[in-house]
Structures are given as structure tokens and as C-alpha cells.
Structure 1
């Protein structure tokens, strides 16, 4: 296996294992990793326009998260309304139930990040992050992460 192929599969395997662990811990909350990402983003940045949310998502591909938001609205976690200044713009906020779920998501994610931090402590975590940033630079997911880091 050439090094680039091994890197690709190691990144994919790490992503799958992280997502598997996250999904397992979110299951009792009735949430998927993509739904948890939306709740977390809204908790940090609400109100958010639907298209702005799409530009920040990494878990969900595409810039139109309508179906994902529809499920969260139906579950009573997200409130969708026309923006006061522009009725064509849809703004999203968390409901009280959504705020509580977002808080639980933070707890779940913190446990996952503690595990990652423990592994990174015995390796050059900065070099790994720099390498991965360079790998996704200019790509849709890399751009979403860059937007999240700067806003």
C-alpha cells in the first residue's frame, strides 16, 4: 500500500470510528451526529439563517440542510421563522428543548474529544492538524471548517 493510500484509509477509519462512537452516545438522545452538529452550531451562533447554517456544516454534505432542519423542527428542537427584516430569509433558533439537547451534545462531544486529546498528547497533534488542514484546504468541508474558525 502506498503512503497516500494508507493516509486516506487511516483518515477514513478515524472518521468512521469517531462517528461510530459519537452515534452510539447520541442514540439515547435520539440524535444523529449531523443533527448534533446543527444543535451545537445553533447553540453557539443563533439565530442562523438556513443558508448560513449550510455553509458551516461538515457532517452533512451540500449547502442546503433543509431536510436535516425539518427533522429537528418536527422533533421540537429547532424553531424556524421568517427573518423580521427579510421574509425570504429563514432564521433558525433553538427551542428550550433544543437548548437542553445541545447541552447534552456538548457533554457527549467532550467525552469523545477527551479521548482524542489523550491520544494526541503522545503524538505531535499540531503537525497532524496542520497536515489535515492542508489536505482539505479549499475543499467544501475545509471551507466550512475555516468559516467556523473565523466567525
Structure 2
């Protein structure tokens, strides 16, 4: 993500917002793997400063904010997706002719042992 001017964590925020916006800050935090269980406000602050994310007051709760991507943030999300697709293509080439299903079962079992599994389940349920 470095060529895009984003850290991996920032790219994840942009990607999650693209897929699930509008989100509250706490709603975003529930879906993040990089910051799972912590407050993602510093990440969001940097993205707001960079002009990628809008932070608006919640219409019903002054303690909450609503997060959405700006037009620039949407363009950056498209760039993130392009990089992700390149990674997936490289992984496909590297795993061709290998028993991938067994490896996936093992990786899923490992992921289920950690709190990030909750974020993955939430993402899957919202997509």
C-alpha cells in the first residue's frame, strides 16, 4: 500500500468504509482486523486530515460521528482494490496445483481462535 500513500491499516479503513459506509466510529472498529478491539480514532483522524474520510455529527447522538468516504477516498478505495486484486492473482499463481482447501481449513481454524474472527464474521454477515 506504500505506493498509494497508505499504511496497511489505513487501507483497511478505506476498504471497510467503501464496503459498509456510513459507519459510526465504533461500528468501524467492530469490522477492523488491524485495530480490532481498540478505538480506531487515530487512524480516522489521519484519513480525515488527508481528505479521504468525512466525519459528520450523528443526527441522533451527539456522542457519535458518522464516517463516509470523500470522493478522493472513494478513488483511493478503488486503487486499494486494484492492489488487492494484484495480490490475489499472485497468490493464485503461487498456489496453483497445491491442495488449497486443506490449507484454508487450517487457516480458518487458526483465525477462529482469535478475537479477529468476530470482525471477519461481521464483515461476512454484512456483505
Structure 1 residue runs of 5 or longer lacking an equivalent are 1-25
Contact 1:50-1:65 within 8 A present in 2 as well = yes
Bigger Cα displacement from structure 2, 102-111 vs 135-144: 135-144
Contact 1:51–1:63 (CA under 8 A) maintained in structure 2: no
**Aligned ranges 1:43-58 → 2 under 5 Å:** 43-58=18-33
RMSD, matched Cα: 1.4
Structure 2 unaligned runs (5+)?
A: none
Higher normalized contact order (CA 8 Å, seq sep 6+, divided by chain length): 2
TM norm structure 2: 0.91
Task: Give yes or no for contact 2:36–2:119 (8 Å, CA) kept in 1.
Answer: no
Q: Does 1:106 align with 2:93?
A: no
- Runs ≥4 in structure 1, deviation > 6 angstroms? none
Aligned residues: 126
Given the two structures, how large is their TM-score scaled by the length of structure 1?
Answer: 0.77
Hey, which of these two has a bigger chunk of helix by percent? 1
Corresponding residue for residue 42 of structure 1: 17
